[in-house]
Amino acid sequence: MNAPVPAHNLAPFGDDYGPLLQGVYAPVADECQLTELPLLQGAIPADLNGVYLRAGPNTRFAPNGRYHPFDGDGMVHAAQFAAGRLTYRNRWVRTDAWKEEDAAGKSTFYGIRETLKGRPDKRLKDSANTDMVAHAGRALALWYMSGDAYELDPTTLETLGKSQAVTASGGGISAHAKVDEIAEELMFFDYGLEAPYMHYGVVGPDGKLKHYVPIDLPGPRLPHDMAITEHYAVLHDLPLFHDPEALKLGRHKICFFPDVPTRFGVIPRLGASDSIRWFEFSPCFVYHVVNAWEDGDWVEMVGCRYMPVRHADGSIDANRTARDVAELVMHARLWHWRMNLRTGESQERELDGERNVEFPTYNSARTGRFTRYGYLVDHSDVNTLQWAGIRKYDLTTGECLSAWSDSLEHSWYSEPWFASADNPQSEDHGYVIAFQWHDQLQRQTLDIFDARDLNQGPVAQVAMPVRIPLGFHGCWMAAHRMKAKV
């Protein structure tokens, strides 16, 4: 049974804005709530309870100028599980920019190809389209360029307003904030074009700002992610940042600087600015971290190292590296970094040199603690945002333990998230959840895997009567965390 979705507009804005608003990349026009969805195989596990939330770009009005996926209006797609039943919902995030354009009936902002954050004449839209995190009973929709944190009801997806904690900081929050689910604290960073160029903050379980300090960087930078451990946060200073001349002209153009080392700064969770310690590594860009933890004097971090493009002589091709990062052309490898807080020593090693894997997830209940297992996607070397398969890794050895793909050519998965089973007996006792678009079959599904072994394929595959556009990041929010603690 293929269960194709109904016909839909694959080029809602015509041919004027390039391929990234057409075909598999085309946005959808409607919000909906669906129940009683047909199963193509298996059964929804009764011990799977909570909600899988995935953010992404879903452009509402024709863009002003050239389009990049980072520009699209934020839309959240949610699969809520309760005692063997599934409800699907999707809603736009009602940001300030969304409300303004809704009232105008057209785009009033510009995209990243046309402008720079902070320009008053061509304003860049905070679209809240990049990541979802779950904290203090609410879901937060976040933007990669550091903006507001929009709070959502995790069940209805109603936009409840802006995070008062982030507003109280006087700054913004980058997309990849981290939540310690044991302490129920949220750690975040903000970056910008003015000194000190970065800030680091902590939000308590009551949803209030608990800690906020400046972090001095050598200049304006473009960090994308961070990590936390039980007692520390790990902040990134990477050798990919603004072209100085373009910056002067108010344009967003990035360069890779191969002579500048990668630096990771380790700061106590509630540490003062001068308590941060910087460790140097080989130059690279890091889009996404898997997880980090402490081992004695060592802080260890596993993530996806963007591999710089190289010339025939082995030297780094800085121009191609920067262009590929800007165009979301991934060349990533699973990597392990170590930082010794007693000796100042740093170490790094490749965990898997063969596979281009990215958009990592894990058992988020163990954020900041040792995790043996990670779940990553096979990232296309050619197609933007095509993730054709899902892999389970041993994060200590780099061994791929199991994997699944319906079709390496035709499958387009979303970021897969681990969801613990009720009363889990091990770190990997649970499920991996992901939406999948199969372009040959014109079929949208929600796939649920046994996280202990992906090789057996989905234990349940649900036919979706609507298409779910390609997106970025998501999260899993267990049922017991969907009730606010404030």
Domains of the chain by residue range:
19-481
pLDDT value at residue 371: 98
Query: SS3 sequence, the chain?
Result: CCCCCCCCCCCCCCCCCCHHHCHHHCCCCCCEEECCCCEEEECCCCCCCEEEEEEEECCCCCCCCCCCHHHCCEEEEEEEEECCEEEEEEEECCCHHHHHHHHHCCCCCECCCCCCCCCCCCCECCCCCCEEEEECCEEEEECCCCECCEEECCCCCCEEEECHHHHHHCCCECCCCEEECCCCEEEEEEECCCCCEEEEEEECCCCCEEEEEEEECCCCCCCCCCEECCCEEEEEECCEEECHHHHHCCCCCEEECCCCCEEEEEEECCCCHHHCEEEEECCCEEEEEEEEEEECCEEEEEEEEECCCECCCCCECHHHHHHHHHCCCCCEEEEEEEEECCCCCEEEEEEECCCCEEEEECCHHHCCCCCCEEEEEEECCCCCCCEEEEEEEECCCCCEEEEECCCCCCEEECCCEEEECCCCCCCCCEEEEEEEEECCCCEEEEEEEECCCHHHCCCEEEEECCCCCCCCCEEEEEHHHCCCCC
Domain 19-481 has CATH 3.30.465.10: no
Cα→Cα distances 124→107, 253, 415, Å: 11, 14, 26
Cα→Cα distances 269→76, 139, 172, 278, Å: 30, 22, 19, 15
CA atoms of 166 and 199, how far apart (whole Å):
11
What residues does 389 pair with on adjacent strands? 378
What string of pLDDT tens digits covers the 486 residues of the chain?
Answer: 455 666 667 889 988 888 999 989 999 999 999 999 999 999 999 999 999 999 999 999 999 999 999 999 999 999 999 999 999 999 999 999 999 999 999 999 999 999 999 999 999 999 999 999 999 999 999 999 999 999 999 999 999 999 999 999 999 999 999 999 999 999 999 999 999 999 999 999 999 999 999 999 999 999 999 999 999 999 999 999 999 999 999 999 999 999 999 999 999 999 999 999 999 999 999 999 999 999 999 999 999 999 999 999 999 999 999 999 999 998 999 999 999 999 999 999 999 999 999 999 999 999 999 999 999 999 998 899 999 999 999 999 999 999 999 998 999 999 999 999 999 999 999 999 999 999 999 999 999 999 999 999 999 999 999 999 999 999 999 999 997 543
pLDDT value at residue 9: 76
pTM: 0.96
CA atoms of 2 and 443, how far apart (whole Å):
6
**Are the C-beta atoms of 134 and 122 separated by less than 8 Å?**
no
Residues 6+ apart with CB under 8 A from 121: none
pLDDT value at residue 19: 92
